[in-house]
Structure 1
Amino acid sequence: MTYCLALKLNAGMVFASDSRTNAGVDHIAMFKKMRTFINRGDRTIVILSSGNLSITQNAINLLEQQGRHPENRNIWNVESMFDVAQLLGECLRSVRQHDGAFLAQSNVDASANFIVGGQIRGEPMRLCLVYAEGNFIEAGEETPFFQIGETKYGKPILDRVIKPDTPLDEAIKCVLVSFDSTMRSNLSVGLPIDLACYSESHFDLNLVQHITDDDPYFSQISRRWSEGLRGVFASLPSPDWLSEPLPRDFPL
Structure 2
Amino acid sequence: MTYCVALRLRGGLVMLADTRTNAGVDNISTFRKLTVIEQPGDRVVGIMTAGNLALSQAVVNMALEQGIAFREGEPLETLHTAPSMVRAAQLMGHAVREVYRVDGPSLEAQAENFNVSILLGGQIGKGKLRLFQIYSAGNYIEATEDTPYLQIGEHKYGKPIIDRAATFDTDVADAMKLALISMDSTMRSNLSVGMPIDLMVYRRDELKVALNRRIKDDDVYFKGLRQSWSDALTKAYQTIPGPDWLG
Can you give the 5+ residue segments of structure 2 that lack an aligned partner in the other structure? none
Aligned position for 1:98: 102
1:75 CA displacement: 2.0
Larger CA deviation: 154-163 vs 96-105: 96-105
The equivalent residue for 1:43 is: 43
C-alpha deviation, 1:9, in angstroms: 0.3
**Correspondence for 1:15:** 15
**Does 1:129 pair with 2:130?**
no
Partner of 1:73: 77
CA contact (8 A) 1:23 1:188 kept: no
CA–CA distance in structure 2, aligned partners of residues 233 and 203 of structure 1: 43
CA distance in structure 1 between the aligned counterparts of 2:245 and 2:81, rounded to whole angstroms? 65
Structure 2 Cα separation of the partners of residues 114 and 134 of structure 1 = 10
User: TM-score, normalized by length of structure 1?
Assistant: 0.92
Question: Is the Cα contact below 8 Å between 2:93 and 2:140 reproduced in 1?
Answer: yes
RMSD value over aligned CA atoms?
Answer: 1.7
Question: What corresponds to 1:151 in structure 2?
Answer: 155
**SS of residue in 1 equivalent to 2:177:** helix
Give the Cα–Cα distance (whole angstroms) in 1 for the partners of residues 111 and 218 of structure 2: 38
**Partner residue in 2 for 1:182:** 186
Give the distance between the partners of 2:227 and 2:113, measured in 1 at CA. 36
Using the size of structure 2 for normalisation, the TM-score is 0.94
CA contact (8 A) 1:15 1:196 kept: yes
Q: Equivalent pairs: percent with the same residue?
A: 44
Q: Which segments of 5 or more consecutive residues in structure 1 lack a partner in the other structure? A: 244-252
- Kept after mapping to 2: 8 A contact 1:67/1:76: no
- Per the alignment, residue 197 of structure 2 pairs with 193
| Farther off after superposition, 190-199 or 232-241 | 232-241
Q: Which of residues 216, 230, 237 is equivalent to 1:233? A: 237
For residues 134-185 of structure 1, what are the alpha-carbon distances to aligned partners after superposition, in whole Å with 9 as ceiling and x for unaligned? 0001111111000000010000000111111111111111111000000000
Deviation at 1:123, TM superposition (A): 1.1
Instruction: Report how far residue 106 of structure 1 moved.
Output: 2.1
Secondary structure of 1:101's partner?
helix
Give the greater-gyration-radius structure (CA): 1
